[in-house]
A and B are shown apart, each in its own frame.
Chain A
Amino acid sequence: MSKRDVSLTVNGTVHTVSVYPMERLLDVLRAKIGLTGTKEGCGEGECGSCSILMNGELVNSCLVPVLQAEGATLCTIEGLAGENGLHPVQQAFLKCGGAQCGICTPGMVRATVHLLNHNPKPTLEQIREALGGNLCRCTGYTRIFDAVAEAAGTRR
């Protein structure tokens, strides 16, 4: 099988990369496009560290053959912070200490933004459900959930 060109829109920029169709989207983002904010945890869809948005849906980029992302609109962690600094969810993680080793953090932040876009005032149960696909090996969940509530303006 030979390589072919695949075009991806990542954080608003179109990238055309020469890839094998079965390369993992995660590897293409990191090695070909140079966006290393998306992390590999388990590499088998269990941990959510490689979570990104693909056409508005949260996906594990380690489970997506790159050809299936052709023409898709992708948003990675690098697309969150703007000219005025960190995204409010990133600010909340910083304020609440919602990051320890940091490997899960980009996925946690992406999952949180996705949650708050659909449900701006989630309950704790809804936060736990929405982040259920994202594992923190440091087990710092309490502060992570605090950070989500902080970003939603519901932290007590």
Chain B
Amino acid sequence: MRSRPSEYELVAPGKLSTVLDLLAKEPGVWMPIAGGTELMVQYGAGRLPARKLVSLWGLPEVRHIECTAQDVLIGAGCTYTDLRRHPIVAREFPLLAQA
């Protein structure tokens, strides 16, 4: 059974600070999303329990890959394509880049 789009709320504040304000104001109510690769499959099957969603898509602060000598930090807004194309991720974590 497909989900009804009218039963879901999705907002895209467009600024990280606004997203953080929303999450702080109503803890546990809003689910942050970025893209839809997994989310939209659950949604399509009628199995997405969260009804209030806030989009992180297009926020530059969460779309980054930072590499240090010890760590690789992958932002929540990175796409699979970002990972596949990143030379250090591809070299050091080939299974992640190919996954």
Contacts and interface: CB of A to CB of B under 8 A. Distances in A.
Asked if chains A and B come from one complex, the reply is yes
A70 B12 CA distance: 9
Contacts of B40: 24, 44-45, 62-65
A123 interface: no
B11 interface: yes
B41 interface: yes
Main secondary structure of the interface of B (DSSP, over half): mixed
A24 B53 CA distance: 15
B7 A1 contact: yes
- Sorted from nearest, which 7 A-B pairs have the closest CB atoms? A20-B5, A21-B10, A22-B8, A63-B40, A63-B36, A22-B5, A1-B9
Interface of B: 3, 5-12, 33, 35-37, 40-41, 43-45, 53, 55, 57-58, 79, 81
B45 to A, nearest CB: 8
B38 to A, nearest CB: 9
Interface of A: 1, 19-24, 43-45, 57, 62-65, 67-68, 70
Main secondary structure of the interface of A (DSSP, over half): loop
A45 B12 contact: no
Nearest to A69: B57
Given A45-B41, A68-B55, A70-B12, A20 B6 contact: yes
Contacts of A19: 5
Contact of A64 (B9, B12, B36, B58): B36
21 contacts: A1-B5, A1-B6, A1-B9, A19-B5, A20-B6, A21-B5, A23-B5, A24-B40, A24-B44, A43-B44, A44-B40, A45-B41, A57-B81, A62-B40, A63-B41, A64-B36, A65-B33, A65-B40, A65-B53, A68-B12, A68-B55
**Most B Cβ at <10 Å: residue of A43, A57, A68:** A68
Contact of B35 (A21, A23, A63, A67): A63
